């Protein structure tokens, strides 16, 4: 299933969400500037689980955790992640506010990276992508807006249909898929790379916890016309 948009209105401008999308795009353009040397560059600036466990949380490893959240492995990787962030991130920012949303996003990304490192401690493959942090956004969205309608493209064999589906189904199925494929990936070779499913799982769970800890469960009060008469 591919989400296209949601019907969840917001009352604020998603400044931070837009900045995050722009920053991801700019970082990808920076990656392209390396040309054929990109793979070598990623080994220098991206997060690598085996290196993290070998040297611990030294400043260099911490920096790579932040940098890796804004790197991508190709146009499709970038486009897919930014689509999800654009659709679901604005409502989380609307609920948390700009500052807390930024903190939330970064913490989800760090939690996702640690989850990936724990699941793949011997991996020497660079871990890149915003999907761990975005998984946190999805987890928060599922918790806060389970009944929001999401317009979704659904491929059925040779046919494609578009339907409005509750977020609890779209995001719930996404998370279940990560659980099953993540469990299956444990039998594979950690040096082969691929999708960091446990980063998705860790980010998703972190998002559900963090949005509650940061006050997202409290609905933001909106001032009605002439509300001052009742003060």
Kindly report the CATH number assigned to the domain that includes residue 43. 1.20.1540.10
Predicted confidence (pLDDT) per residue in 101-129, tens digit = 999 999 999 999 999 999 999 999 999 99
Strand partners, 138: none
- Residue 218 is predicted with a pLDDT of 77
* For the chain, percent of residues with pLDDT exceeding 70: 90
Residues 6+ positions from 155 with CB-CB distance below 8 Å = none
pLDDT bucket at 31, cuts 50 / 70 / 90: very high
Task: Give the mean model confidence (pLDDT) for residues 162-171.
Answer: 94
Tell me, yes or no, whether 230 lies in a domain.
no
- Residue 145 is predicted with a pLDDT of 96
Choose the weakest-confidence range: 49-63, 79-93, 100-114, 176-190.
176-190
Predicted confidence (pLDDT) per residue in 51-61, tens digit = 999 999 899 99
Tell me, yes or no, whether 157 lies in a domain.
yes
Tell me, yes or no, whether 7 lies in a domain.
yes
Entry pTM: 0.89
Round to whole Å and give the CA distance between 231 and 227: 7
Total number of domains constituting the chain: 1
Task: Give the mean model confidence (pLDDT) for residues 138-158.
Answer: 92
Residue 118 is encoded by which pair of tokens? 């724990």
Predicted confidence (pLDDT) per residue in 194-217, tens digit = 678 899 999 999 999 999 999 988
Round to whole Å and give the CA distance between 136 and 103: 12
**Rg of the chain taking only CA atoms, in angstroms:** 19
Round to whole Å and give the CA distance between 227 and 40: 60
Inter-CA distances, 211 with 29, 113, 167, Å: 31, 18, 17
Tell me, yes or no, whether 191 lies in a domain.
no
Tell me, yes or no, whether 225 lies in a domain.
no
Tell me, yes or no, whether 128 lies in a domain.
yes
- Residue 223 is predicted with a pLDDT of 43
pLDDT bucket at 6, cuts 50 / 70 / 90: very high
Q: Provide the phi-psi class of 23: left if phi over 0, else alpha when psi is between -120 and 50, else beta.
A: alpha
Tell me, yes or no, whether 57 lies in a domain.
yes
Task: Give the mean model confidence (pLDDT) for residues 124-138.
Answer: 95
- Residue 182 is predicted with a pLDDT of 82
Residues 6+ positions from 210 with CB-CB distance below 8 Å = 104, 107, 108, 111, 136, 140
Strand partners, 166: 149
Residue 161 is encoded by which pair of tokens? 């249909």
- Residue 197 is predicted with a pLDDT of 87
Tell me, yes or no, whether 18 lies in a domain.
yes
Round to whole Å and give the CA distance between 45 and 60: 9
Nearest to 176, CA basis, from 164, 165, 168: 168
Residue span of the structural domain in which 136 resides: 2-186+197-218
Question: How many H helices and E strands in the chain?
Answer: 9, 3
């Amino acid at each position: 299933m591919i989400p296209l948009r949601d019907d969840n209105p917001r009352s604020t401008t998603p400044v931070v969400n837009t900045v995050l999308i722009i920053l991801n795009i700019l970082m990808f353009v920076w990656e392209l500037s390396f040309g054929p040397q990109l793979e070598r560059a990623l080994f220098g600036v991206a997060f690598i689980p085996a290196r993290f466990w070998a040297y611990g949380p030294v400043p260099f490893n911490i920096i790579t955790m932040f940098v890796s959240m804004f790197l991508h492995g190709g146009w499709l990787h970038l486009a897919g992640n930014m689509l999800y962030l654009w659709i679901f991130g604005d409502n989380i920012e609307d609920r948390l506010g700009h500052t807390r949303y930024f903190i939330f996003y970064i913490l989800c990304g760090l939690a996702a990276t640690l989850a990936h490192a724990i699941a793949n401690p011997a991996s020497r493959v660079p871990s890149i992508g915003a999907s761990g942090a975005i998984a946190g956004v999805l987890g928060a969205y599922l918790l806060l807006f389970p009944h929001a309608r999401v317009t979704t493209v659904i491929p059925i064999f040779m046919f494609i249909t578009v339907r409005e589906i509750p977020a609890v189904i779209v995001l719930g199925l996404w998370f279940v898929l990560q659980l099953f494929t993540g469990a299956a990936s444990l039998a594979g070779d950690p040096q082969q790379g691929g999708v960091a499913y446990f980063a998705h799982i860790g980010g998703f769970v972190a998002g559900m916890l963090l949005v509650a800890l940061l006050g997202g469960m409290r609905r933001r009060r909106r001032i009605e016309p002439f509300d001052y008469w009742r003060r």
